[in-house]
Structure 1
Amino acid sequence: MSNSSLVLLPSSHARARDQFPGADELEKELRKKVRGEVRFDPASKALYATDASNYRQVPIGLVLPLDEEDVVAAVAVCRAFDAPILSRGAGTSLAGQGCNFAVVLDFSKYMNRISAVDPVARTVHVQPGAILDRVREAAEQFHLTFAPDPATHSRCTIGGMIGNNSCGVHALMGGKTVDNILSLDLLLYDGTRMTVGPTSAAELEQQIAAGGRTGEIYTTLKQLATSYAEQVRARFPKIARRVSGYNLDELLPESNFNVARALVGSEGTCAIILGATLQLVHSPQFRTLMGIGFEDIFIAADNVPTLLEHHPIGLEGMDGLLLDAMRRKQKSADDLALLPSGEGFLIVEFGGATQAEANRKAQELAAAVAVLPQPPSVRIYTSAEASRIWHIRESGLAATVFVPGKGTGWEGWDDSAVDPKQLGSYLRSIYALMQEFRYTSPMYGHFGEGCVHMRHNFDLETEAGILSFRHFLDRATEITLAHGGSLSGEHGDGQARGALLPKMFGPELMEAFRAFKRLWDPTNKMNPGKLIDAHEPHEDLRLGADYKPLKPKTHFALLEDNGSFASANLRCVGVGACRKTDAGSMCPSFMATGEEMHSTRGRAHLLWELMQGEVLEGGWKNKQVKESLDLCLSCKACKSECPVSVDMATYKSEFLSHHYEGRLRPLSHYAFGRIDVWARLASFAPGIVNAINNAPVIGRTMQSLLHIHHKRSFPRFSKPFTREKQSKSGAGTEVFLWADTFNNYFHPPTMRAAHQVLTEAGFKVVLPSQHLCCGRPLYDFGMLDTAKKYLLKVLDALSPQLAKGTPIVVLEPSCATVFRDELTNLLPHDDRALKLREQTFLLSEFLVKYAPEYRPPSLTGKIVVHGHCHHRATMGMNDEMTLLRATGSQVTLLDSGCCGMAGPFGFEKDKFDISQKLAERVLLPAVRNASQETRIVSDGFSCCEQVMQNTGARPLHLAEVLAQTSNTSGNDHVESGNLP
């Protein structure tokens, strides 16, 4: 399409209500024949309507097959109804190949088996839904690895990697996915099953002689290879990162007529992958990472060929704009300080048989760059520092997606590649083009192989902006081809670059590509409209000139998202970090269920779709959206672990507030949401209330009314600390000790210990003179009008302290986050709210900042720490760990994620099993395996309840540890009345 003929094309909204003829009958037949899951409901369609690209196409329906037989059955039904099919893994594709108006086969939930690694042959056979990191973990037992490792390695599937021909950092060491595939087990749309791989001349003739559909395929492949060999040799770029187009070069004699590798990168447009045999490579067990800082990214790129002469196993580039984006988002601030000075950075990794060998290689490179005309700055990292540097690099894509004050960076010209010798010139040319179009983007990527990632501030919401975006793609294509490059160097063509391929390959090779596609898929039912004869890159946009989301009035200000609930959820661009299951806290409900609907991404997509009103109807009253949010534990982990800071706890609270407008809420909402009221009343006769709660008949009746699981017991009320006669306070600087509902009314020893610690540190401790509550449980149920009243009461009561700048110490992390987070989001224009946010500290933060001379007591033994989710997400654990380590104990911080209790969540009948599953992932086994002398530390009341109600042990709050004397050990000081 020439620039002069460019016109605006239909967006996704124009097609969102497309219906497949016979969809109801198709669904019924699939349900009869498939033993796995079949979903044609609106929420499932909404969840799979987009991937990590700019595109949106609402699918016909979804199938989650249990095994190969299910896939065969599903394809047979689709064939009978003439329905198109899309194979999908983790849904992190960036070029639009992961969404289509088709029946989606999601292999990630069930078909993820990994067979035993063969360490001699260095192979492993996997199903398409196998997660890359799980494969790598299995291989590392034999000092082997699967070389390609994209930044999404914690959740991307092998099937998706094969479809896209994924690469990653260590493709420099072991090649792209195509270079590491031995064979593929295939299912074609017509039902043919094949296993393909390298084919000798004799084997080729045998396959042809066999006749039938298989013989036809091999006959035609041979004809294609013969007819187009010279075109392939002449027009395919001679670079490591040519990912665009079909791999016809793999059918040449010099490539052993490798049919499996010819299909790698075909993006599901030719065949369905049922299994793959992977080639593993040696994994260097000793590695050294170094950072090299140049004046700018262009000079850094100029020096890549020199660095490659030293044979690194990884060579990545990043520019200063990428780091600026991370700083604006307050991501990895401490890690960024590890980078050397400069505005253009190369991250170089060496491997060796010994650590000394890897170190020597790094030192040799450092010596070599030291004699350059303009010597760069160099830093060689320890192994601990190296992991932090890799985290920066892996956060690159999402760090550039949404930047406060800058807006959204969109993919589109995302992963072009050139020869590393051309890299500096290429970047300068692209930068000049960006200036011409007034676009900005960080530049980063796999510089060792000339692959560059960018996300530009394209305007995809106006006709002029969309056409400008399309013009830019044409011009950028011309620059890339002038430098002998490939339009895609990693993420594939899909819809983003499919229509641009004729510029790169010319008409003859495009006809060869079409013939290749027709051979495998003659009826064009496999992911149609992608890669070959693709829809235009400015078509089917998720946004588009007709993008007009609902703009409801919200309780939360959402200032960073211009007050728009739709914009807040548009932050999620599908990178899928919430789908990891091995570490961190995000996303606990996905970790427990493996369901897209219960991931942060899934919820964000549903809420975004809700604002469109095209697939999901009913607005705030939509039951499927509520179902998705019901399993959100409001842990806030997504706000810190999600690279674009999707704040699902806030979105859930906002949704629930509107969902229940004008409706009577369940009794449990009032019971748990207003727990401070009931705790205050119970505090006048806690013994009687506890006895009633635990009486067999009354207790069971209350559990039934409140939908509490029978294995849960009610927390025990106590006389509040604020009614105790207080010990003498210090005479120094005044500090206000917040009496939160949980520690004051349920476990006053924590308050007592904090008062002691602060007094002994020399501070004058002031307590509230009236009942106050931050209202934390109210947010779990969306009771935001009441929450605002609570906050205004707090601000009125604390006015003297706020005016004087008195530090306010909060012991319960979830209460501290109300003052640090929800408060200013609900009351953004109240100056007192801003002061309270700035004056609120956890005990550890306060002691580190205001009592630098404070020394914790000397303790022996071990301390095992479970960090509350809000503590980790909003404040971080550094100060807490600093104080605990200063006791002299051996301190371990568990990577235990969410404890699973999350306030009322873990008490509810229908959520008990998930709560237990999350607790058993790391936390409870760690508690059970700890010795009697080991101190278990957790500052969250809910976390302590989870541990107590499952093990009988009560963890200590930091305040209780610091209040101990040196001869006190373990948890033996806990009163038996506090045990369940």
Structure 2
Amino acid sequence: MTVTSSRPTAVDAAAAGTALRELGLHADDSSRRRAEYSYDASNYRLRPVCVVFPRDAAEVATAVAWCHRNGVPVIPRGGGTGMGGNAIGAGVVIDLSRHMTRVHAVDTVGATASAEAGVVLTALQKHVREASDGALTFAPDPSSQSRACLGGAIGNDACGNHSVRYGRTTDHVVDVTVVTAEGHLLVATATGLRAADPSDTAAVRRAAEVEDGLRALATENLAPLRVELERIPRQVSGYHLAHLLPEHGFHVARALVGSEGTCALVVAATVSLVPVSQHPTLLCVGYRDVVDAARDVPTMLDFAPSAIEGIDERIVATMRARRGRASVEGLPDGNAWIYIELDEHSVGGRVDDIAGAVADLADKLRANGRVVDARTVTDPTTRSMLWRVREDGAGLSSRLVDLDDPDAGAGYESWPGWEDSAVAPERLPEYLEGFRRLLDHHGLTGVMYGHFGAGCMHVRVTFDQRTESGRATMLAFVRDAAQLVVDHGGSLSGEHGDGRARSELLPIMYSPEMIRLFERFKGIWDPQGLLNPGSIVDPAPIGDDLALAGIPRRTWQTAFDLGIPGSAHTPDTDVPEGTDLDPFVHATQACIGVGRCRSHSGGVMCPSYRATRDEKDSTRARARVLQEMLRSAPDVESGWRSEDVRESLELCLSCKACSTDCPTGVDMATYKAEFFHHHYKGRKRPMSHYSLGWMPAWLRMATATAPMINAVLGTRLAGPAARVAGLDARRSMPRFARRKQVRAALRSLVRRDDAPVVLFVDSFTRAFRPQVAQAASRVLGGADSISCEKDNCCGLTWISTGQLDRARKVLSRTADALDDGTDRPIVVPEPSCAAALRKDLPELVHTDAARRVAARVRSFATHVGSMLDDGWTPPPVPQAVTVQTHCHEYAVFGPSTQASVLRRLGVADVRSADGCCGVAGNFGFERGHYEVGMAVGEQALAPALRARRPDEPVLTDGFSCAMAVDHLAGVDAAIDAVGGVHLAELIDPDRPTPTTADTPTRTRETP
């Protein structure tokens, strides 16, 4: 049986969406949703017909059966992190990751686990470890494991950092439950195929037909299956038909692994588990280059390591430039590095022998004569930090710094397209030498990292896909590269699958006979060719549907300087081919789909996605909708009016965490402000943009009438007033400091031109927490204090609501006021205001004064760290503190700034709530955001508050964080009443005890 056609049938999106919804399915055919799912992490873009979010296997079967009856292609999708273009298509996309995330069972005796296809790998691993008391785990751990799904790992045959010991996903699959192209639910096992429901006669009949076809394929073709397949550890390209051989027991389940959703949709699986390493030790070795590193791999393999992973200098330089030198602390000298992990399993379970084995390995590597430097890393924090450099390799390498000038910002881009080839480990050095010659021949640069111990290299290449000549070079290169890897006995793909990136090249790797067998295998399962067309069989041309091709070259005039050297800021003019790329286009294209914003733990981004688990609310989806706007808008002006983009940005908290946590540095808070600036120009804005956006302008009046306003906040009038202002009446509103309090606080500050430090009293501190300014002044020892005025502030509220003309005017005045001809640090108590002055000021105000002022700005916690560096002796501090990490401080001044300063001050137990508080400036107060804001608060802050001891201070340097703490304490009986304190108050040498009479308090309004 062969495939009759794999070309998609034209179908009206609205009609398909309506029909699927009439079947009781959650189907979304909106233009915004289709834009979000037009991309994965590859170079490709295909707009789907609609997206279905099934709740269980039965709903998957219903959707697939409808598509089969109507000749509509089906594209299964998990986390959408694949780089081969195998999770997109012009049909119905079935997203298994939203609802089908259940772990059904963990058998600790038999060492197996059963779960649905949409479960994220780290979630599965966490569940297994908890069920086995930390003894077992699921072995495959690709770098995308925090957002990649089990079904995707099976579809692509994922591997990971520890594959040198544990192999591929294939090696761990026991059985898989699948939905066939016709909509039947079958179970593929280690010995055959059966219907999931024995009473379903149609499914029983179809299972028998498929099994008979597969047995005939195997028995009639024993020789080619034995000769051409499974020759190297990472031979992932093509179908895994060798598992149908008699010596492998006719393992149909494993034959389906790596089929990329082209044969059936995996909806659940049973997988085997492996013991957890309890004593991992990392040996990090530096080399002159990756070829030298590859030559030492055989020596490393002799020691039975659990991992042998490599990175090159460009990734490390980019990490240092983007996240600071401390982010790669622990790396030895060198220009390329290998991580070698040994554990108790490397030495036969003898834990005491691990250190000796590591030392012996280091000696043998030095004796080989290629090692530059080597270090043993036993500290878990340092080890995790170094592993993150490797795990973020794909993202970091996409926007690289210039090695000759790493401080200059982004130097050049690199892209997938040939990122996944594999050879036998012993042939890796020669392959890499040939590969580098090939790059030079085509005038390209490759960024190399990957699984050296398994011979699998991830290489991102400086392809130019925006121009016709660049695309021609890319196509010529990948064909030459395919021939090169085949000449070395290797595989086009070693982990990511073939997809649209490599399927066309399979005839270079396989004989015509094997290609026909692949077609036959696909045809047995999917005779109409409706499942994920364009991959493996009847492939789409590599050069078709490239996401960077065909974008109109326009200039999108921006208020922000988005940091692209040589870019012109001229309105509405076409950018000629070959000139510098428009800065806004370049910025939004920083998102390449790696999907770290979809992770459920670690880091801070993306809080709204973690709250809703909807792709719409991920940083990636917002970037993709922006990219679609740039592509499809008839002109610039109508592009800025896009309702799809406005809707996509609605639940962005502007927390800025993505600018740090995203490996490619996407700064969605800035893009949101820029979009709102244009979208609402000349139009009526949401009421909150006036009430909260113009807060600094009316705060002086508010403090003058504070008693009356505060009294109203305690009455039933508060609710209607909040709604008129575009706010949510359920959210606790702050009490304003009285004018007398503000004046008293400001009078206590000093103006000293000879002071070594400038204290900038921001709007929030002045209006709501004037006592913080007093404490800060005392800690700083008499700083030159400047108070924020209505026309002299950080402009944050105008920035976050996209009122950038006003923000620029305010910031220009602020820069002039603070540019005093000195280099004295400017210390800002409110972290969000400090971040705005540090980052947004020079991006909005393009003057030398703005740049000089921004370079001097420090958050309060950052400056306290500098004081400690200079030998300052702090007062006694509490032994335990819960700290709500402020998102803007996290993003602009460093993820661990507040927590590390507390430890240096002598706090023995720092309990850090690393996650957005849910208020995030104006977001948490705005109507329509309450539920999401509360769900965001539940990610880290609320659990930390419930776990704290009653006498334990809660550090809330950010005013929004303080408001979130007060609100949670007011609505959650499990949280003790607590008032957040600022670091300045915590270390105030006078440390006065606040009283109700002189301290602004906050109240909760009952809805």
Instruction: State the TM-score bracket (shorter-chain normalisation).
Output: over 0.9
Match of 2:560 in 1: 556
- Residue number among 171, 174, 190 corresponding to 2:166 in the alignment: 174
8 Å CA contact 2:296–2:368 kept in 1: the answer is no
Report Cα offsets for 1:201-222 as digits up to 9, x if no partner: 999xx999x9833222122211
- Structure 1 counterpart of 2:259, one-letter code: S
TM-superposed CA distance for 1:927, in Å, is 1.8
C-alpha deviation, 1:146, in angstroms: 1.1
Deviation at 1:373, TM superposition (A): 3.4
The answer for unaligned runs of 5 or more in structure 1 is: 1-14
Q: C-alpha separation between the residues in 1 aligned to 2:613 and 2:788?
A: 48
TM-score by length of structure 1 reads 0.93
Query: Where in structure 2 are the equivalents of 1:158-237 lying within 5 Å?
Result: 158-199=150-191, 212-236=205-229
Amino acid at match of 1:45: R
Whether the 8 Å CA contact 1:151–1:168 is kept in 2: the answer is: yes
Aligned mates of 1:858, 1:932 — CA distance in 2? 19
Q: 1:291 to 1:474 in 2, by over 3 A?
A: same
Which shifted more, 400-409 or 153-162? 400-409
User: Of 662, 666, 677, which residue of structure 2 is paired with 1:657?
Assistant: 677
Whether 1:734 and 2:756 are equivalent positions in the alignment is yes
Structure 1 residues 784-830: Cα deviation after superposition (integer angstroms, max 9, x where no partner)? 1110111111123223x2x12232111111111111111111123x0
- 2:519 aligned with 1:522: no
User: Would the aligned equivalents of 1:856 and 1:886 in 2 still touch at CA under 8 Å?
Assistant: no
Query: Structure 2: which amino acid aligns with 1:372?
Result: N
Change (3 A) 1:693 1:414: same
- The worse-fitting range, judged by mean Cα deviation, of 41-50 and 859-868 is 859-868
- How many correspondences in the alignment? 950
8 A Cα contact 1:583 1:895, kept in partner? no
8 Å contact from structure 2 (residues 178, 265) kept in 1: yes
1:643 aligns with 2:676: no
Displacement, 1:508? 0.3
Q: Tell me if the contact between 1:855 and 1:886 (Cα under 8 Å) persists in the aligned partners.
A: no
TM-aligned CA deviation for residue 974 of structure 1: 9.9
- For 1:563-574, list aligned pairs within 5 A: 563-574=582-593
Deviation at 1:669, TM superposition (A): 1.2
1:42-99 CA distance string (max 9 Å, x none): 1111000011000111011110011112111111211221111000001011011111
Match of 1:320 among 299, 313, 319: 313
- Provide the secondary structure at the position in 1 that maps to 2:457: coil
Describe the SS at the equivalent of 1:57: coil
**From 46, 51, 54, the counterpart of 1:62:** 51
Preserved contact between residue 464 and residue 471 of structure 2 (Cα < 8 Å): yes
Q: Following superposition of structure 1 onto structure 2, how do residues 367-406 of structure 1 map, counting pairs within 5 Å? A: 367-382=363-378, 383-403=380-400, 404-406=409-411
| Alignment correspondent of 1:493 | 498
Contact 1:288 1:349 in 2 (8 A): yes
- Is 2:431 the partner of 1:426? yes
Whether 1:50 aligns to 2:16 is no
Contact 1:228 1:509 in 2 (8 A): no
Structure 2 match to 1:962: 987
Shift of 1:32: 1.1
Distance 2:81 2:665 in 1: 17
Q: For residue 152 of structure 2, what is the amino acid of its counterpart?
A: G
In structure 1, the residue matched to 2:605 is 586
Name the counterpart of 1:281. 274
- Distance in 1 of aligned mates of 2:111 and 2:210: 30
* Shift in alpha-carbon separation, 1:519–1:175, aligned structure 2, 3 A: same
Moved more, 687-696 or 911-920: 687-696
The 8 Å contact of residues 322 and 400 in structure 1, kept in 2 or not, is answered as: yes
Does the aligned pair in 2 maintain the 1:47–1:602 contact within 8 Å? yes
Matching residue within 853, 861, 875 for 1:844:
861
Q: CA deviation at 1:693?
A: 3.8
Q: Distance in 2 between matches of 1:57 and 1:700?
A: 47
Q: Cα distance 1:549–1:116, how it changes in 2: closer, same or farther (>3 A)?
A: farther
- SS of residue in 1 equivalent to 2:105: coil
Q: Is the Cα–Cα contact under 8 Å of residues 722 and 744 in structure 1 kept in the other structure? A: no
CA deviation profile, 1:902-926 (whole Å, cap 9, x unmatched): 1121112311011111112221232
- Structure 1 distance, partners of 2:596, 2:554, is 27
Aligned with residue 452 of structure 2, among 437, 447, 453: 447
Partners of 1:654 and 1:438 in 2: CA distance? 36
CA contact (8 A) 2:235 2:494 kept: yes
How far apart are the structure 1 equivalents of 2:923 and 2:783? 37
Displacement of 1:378: 1.5
2:249 maps to 1:260 = no
Q: Report deviation, 1:367.
A: 2.7
Percent identity reads: 36
Once residues 731 and 41 of structure 1 are traced to their aligned partners in structure 2, the CA distance between those partners, rounded to angstroms, is 59
Is the aligned partner of 1:917 residue 2:909? no
Partner in structure 1 of residue 11 of structure 2:
21
- Greater Cα shift, 937-946 or 213-222: 213-222
Mean CA deviation greater in 354-363 or 642-651: 354-363
Q: How has the CA–CA distance of structure 1 residues 861 and 237 changed in structure 2, closer, same or farther, with 3 Å as cutoff?
A: closer
Preserved CA contact (<8 Å) 1:738 1:767: yes
Q: Which residue of 2 aligns with 1:611?
A: 630
Moved more, 804-813 or 887-896: 887-896
- Paired AA for residue 152 in structure 1: S
Deviation at 1:846, TM superposition (A): 2.4
Per-residue CA shift, 1:12-36, capped at 9, x if unaligned?
xxx9xx993344332222111134x
Q: Quick one: which of 530, 536, 539 aligns to 1:534?
A: 539
C-alpha displacement at 1:603, in angstroms? 0.2
The 1:375/1:807 distance shift into structure 2, 3 A limit, reads: closer
Quick one: structure 1 residues 58 and 211, their matched pair in 2 at CA, closer, same or farther if it must change by over 3 Å? closer
Going from structure 1 to structure 2, the CA distance change for 1:389 and 1:883 (only over 3 Å counts) comes to closer
- How big is each residue's C-alpha offset from its partner over 1:479-518, in whole Å with a ceiling of 9 and x where there is no partner? 1011110000011100100000011011000000000000
User: Which residue of structure 2 aligns with residue 6 of structure 1?
Assistant: none
Partner of 2:704: 684
Counterpart residue identity of residue 947, structure 2: N
Q: What secondary structure does 2:108 align onto?
A: coil
Q: 1:926 to 1:405 in 2, by over 3 A?
A: closer
> Could you tell me how far apart the structure 1 residues matched to 2:705 and 2:351 are?
66
SS of equivalent residue, structure 2 residue 177: strand
Q: Which moved more, 1:315-324 or 1:160-169?
A: 315-324
The structural deviation recorded for 1:627 is: 1.4
Deviates more, 1:866-875 or 1:370-379: 370-379
Of 518-527 and 663-672, more deviation after overlay is shown by: 663-672
Does the CA contact (< 8 Å) of 1:34 and 1:74 recur in 2?
A: no
- Taking a change above 3 Å as real, the CA distance of residues 74 and 672 of structure 1, as seen in their structure-2 partners, is same
Q: Any idea what SS the aligned residue of 2:474 has?
A: helix
3-state SS of paired residue (1:317): strand
Distance in 2, matches of 1:74 and 1:506, equals 36
Q: Which runs of structure 2 are paired with 1:761-780 in the superposition (5 Å)?
A: 763-768=782-787, 771=790, 772-780=792-800
1:879 positional shift: 4.7
Q: Is the 8 A contact 2:883 2:898 kept in 1?
A: no
TM-score after normalising by structure 2 = 0.91
Moved more, 82-91 or 922-931: 922-931
Residues 218/728 of structure 1: CA separation in 2 closer, same or farther (3 Å cut)? closer
Report the CA distance between 1:960 and its aligned residue.
0.5
Contact 1:305 1:420 in 2 (8 A): yes
1:732, CA displacement in angstroms?
6.3
SS of 1:809's partner is strand
* Partner amino acid, structure 1, of 2:764: F
Gaps of 5+ in 2: 1-6, 401-408, 568-581, 970-976
Q: Which moved more, 1:185-194 or 1:625-634?
A: 185-194
State the partner residue of 1:10.
none
1:437 aligns with 2:442: yes
Counterpart Cα distance in 2 of 1:202 and 1:768: 75
Residues 501 and 684 of structure 1: CA distance in aligned 2, closer, same or farther (over 3 Å)? same
- Distance in 2 separating the partners of 1:312 and 1:678: 64
Check 1:878–1:189 CA distance in 2 against 1; reply closer, same or farther (3 A cut): closer
Moved more, 603-612 or 232-241: 232-241
For 1:793 and 1:377, the matched residues in 2 are separated by 52
Letter in 1 for 2:883: V
Distance 2:518 2:708 in 1: 80
